[in-house]
A and B are shown apart, each in its own frame.
Chain A
């Protein structure tokens, strides 16, 4: 018998999509029965109360969670978010119901052994409710009490070789696509780079020293499956410099509509779009018009290719990215708070992704940017906003990167150039009396 009546939430149990309400109810029952005899370290009925408080929000149209409090584990400034219910008398099981962020493995592959260890810990010391995963990428453990925080951290680090993730004004847990582990488009090993930088910058991740949050995300090709260009202060997007690799025989298999060569790898299978037409679907849609197909021969003017991936996505058995691979780095993406949304702006058109020298070319860019942002950034100013305030040219200066036409969509439309004194012959100090000798007052 449920502790609280939830007539509104009950209506979210029907329909085909997995119901989080059914899952929570099931969880509440499992905890109530406790067939495994767990000595729950937080209230056994917390999931009942979680459903109860959510139902109240559905009734009121308002949240019933208070502002986070300052809780955490010793020595870290992130990884735990305090959460308290604003109706503790009605829902005592969730009066204190803090979140812990657990740093996820790159690529989000798991063994069941690992997952079960996390679950066992979380059933004992928390609500058993999780997010797989949070928006930034962490495993989110949703709901425990203050005395359990250190206990959970101790067990994570001592028994599971596992650390917390980031929150607050620090490096947030970096996240990546699955990259070369299972994708032929990958231009670099996004997991290796993500894992390396996560470990390299553990101090920045755990101890807030930044003006505000800072996010890294890693897309191994321009298709951008983890949306790094929209949601990370520094976005690392795989690309290549040389020619797209072409298998002409395979191109012709696509042209002949060979069933072993479905266009778009079969992504449009459930509607009849007619037979594949290379002219209409590839050549004419190429954004730079740099392709042609004549006499069974596909030609690409690679010098004019902008590597949008369309032709490769459309004929994946025939075309592959080039061999000289690396990544582009874009900076400053963020959601609208405060000065409006930004996407990442291209800073480094191409950089090698080289694990053999600990990705030196990349860490150098990162550290130059951090030095500038930590020095000049205002409280709660994201990198994108600092770039807006001080100018993209300043970003080039601090990173020592030479301006190039690749940095802009088009050159400026106003002539208000902030010339520097040293750029103008003779400098700015002049003698007005000398001037007046030739120009009467």
Chain B
């Protein structure tokens, strides 16, 4: 393959350079019905799972068909999205924060042909390319992180755990039978570039072994003081060690019993890898939310301390998730989010009805905030 120049001249990088121009302006991309009625919407209705109509004060309507999308998406798939948008939506399409794709049309008669077209498209392996759903009191798409496809710190895969989970809860993606919306999020390590800590159910990759020390390279590759400072529990100290050939090198020592496996040292120093086949796996958290509706936003709580990585479909993980969803669906009142329900019945009952084991790992011992989660009352349920 021959190198094709864009016009960039590496000898004169500043020549004709354009910088700091930011993103394209949003309103260049509005469908005309959106541009016309922005700021003048009257109300909306979810007609069926995945299909929403918004009605403007002018009487104009926009029908949105929402489909699940993989965050990891190729240009081949995007081209198909473009073909659908050209055919039905005048060349416009929108993505949501939760990796869904929204196709909008400006009249009701255009909805059925669009839906039929979307539903007819199937991957060669049998999965749907554009499943319609993800609205209202159901389960929408899982926001997630990069995982083993492209990141250096994950303790599990992201796209795979999401695919396995969405297959298991698919019925609730295409239905609105739950007491309230239920948001599942996935982060493949504690860095949580997906910030899953306020989700109804959070899937989190976690390491359980302290870093290995690559003594021979550590001082050459890493700034030792930065690695030491990176540790939130002050478990790392400077050290010297003798290599097999007798050379003495500067390195670090780790007090293993103080390690909480956050991987922050590895972020600062590549000579301290944590990844391990048996050590790594999944933490499940539950009961968080970000909406201010009825109750305050709240953090998710750790409800399963560890599930081993069980590729390719993580059955123990999806099993635990399904147990929670079923117990919630059966027990919660209309409008009650999973965390509100758990607080109403009490977390002791939550573990009982979800058939999840409680272990000492689930009692907080991280700094002073831990105290806030212990029970300072004689009110509890047997």
Contact = CB atoms under 8 A, between A and B. Distances in A.
Given A105-B28, A184-B44, A222-B292, A20 B163 contact: yes
B150 A83 contact: yes
B127 A63 contact: no
B91 A161 contact: no
B136 interface: yes
Interface stretch (B71-79, B250-258, B349-357): B71-79
A128 B24 contact: no
Interface stretch (A119-127, A365-373, A394-402, A423-431): A119-127
B228 interface: no
Given A8-B312, A105-B29, 10 more contacts: A11-B312, A16-B170, A18-B127, A19-B125, A61-B280, A112-B85, A183-B41, A228-B290, A267-B135, A308-B294
B265 to A, nearest CB: 11
B107 interface: no
Contacts of A184: 41-44, 54
Given A26-B76, A65-B151, A195 B23 contact: yes
Nearest to A103: B23
Nearest to A86: B152
A104 interface: yes
B22 A18 contact: no
A337 B41 contact: no
Interface stretch (A196-204, A289-297, A354-362): A196-204
A26 B156 CA distance: 24
B29 A111 contact: yes
Contact of A163 (B23, B69, B191, B309): B23
A336 B62 contact: no
A58 B193 contact: no
Given A198-B23, A343-B198, A12 B74 contact: no
B167 interface: yes
B26 interface: yes
Contacts of A68: 152
A158 B7 contact: yes
Contacts of A107: 26, 94
Nearest to A149: B8
Interface in B1-36: 1-8, 10, 13-14, 16-31, 34
A341 B46 contact: no
30 contacts: A17-B166, A19-B125, A19-B127, A20-B72, A21-B163, A26-B123, A47-B74, A58-B312, A67-B270, A107-B94, A108-B97, A113-B91, A129-B74, A132-B78, A134-B193, A157-B19, A157-B21, A162-B21, A177-B97, A195-B25, A223-B292, A237-B292, A262-B45, A268-B334, A269-B48, A316-B44, A335-B187, A335-B195, A339-B232, A339-B367
A203 B22 CA distance: 10
Of listed B6, B124, B195, B232, residue having the most chain A CB within 10 A: B6
B31 to A, nearest CB: 7
A349 interface: no
Given A13-B126, A155-B6, A310 B193 contact: no
Nearest to B194: A135
Given A189-B39, A268-B137, A16 B128 contact: yes
B164 interface: yes
A66 interface: yes
A63 B226 CA distance: 24
B91 A154 contact: no
Contact of A110 (B16, B64, B94): B94
Given A180-B39, A191-B26, A270-B177, A123 B230 contact: no
Interface string B149-169: 111111001011001101100
Interface of B: 1-8, 10, 13-14, 16-31, 34, 38-39, 41-49, 54, 62, 64, 68-79, 81-82, 85-86, 91-97, 99, 101, 123-131, 135-138, 143-146, 148-154, 157, 159-160, 163-164, 166-167, 170, 173, 175-178, 181, 187, 190-198, 226, 229-230, 232, 262, 264, 266, 270, 275-278, 280, 288, 290-295, 297, 299, 309, 311-313, 334-335, 366-367, 369
Of listed A108, A111, A119, A160, residue having the most chain B CB within 10 A: A111
A227 B195 contact: yes
Nearest to B178: A271
A308 B229 contact: no
A15 interface: yes
B69 to A, nearest CB: 7
Of listed A63, A83, A119, A175, residue having the most chain B CB within 10 A: A63
Would you list the 3 A-B pairs with minimal beta carbon distance, nearest first?
Answer: A13-B125, A267-B136, A15-B167
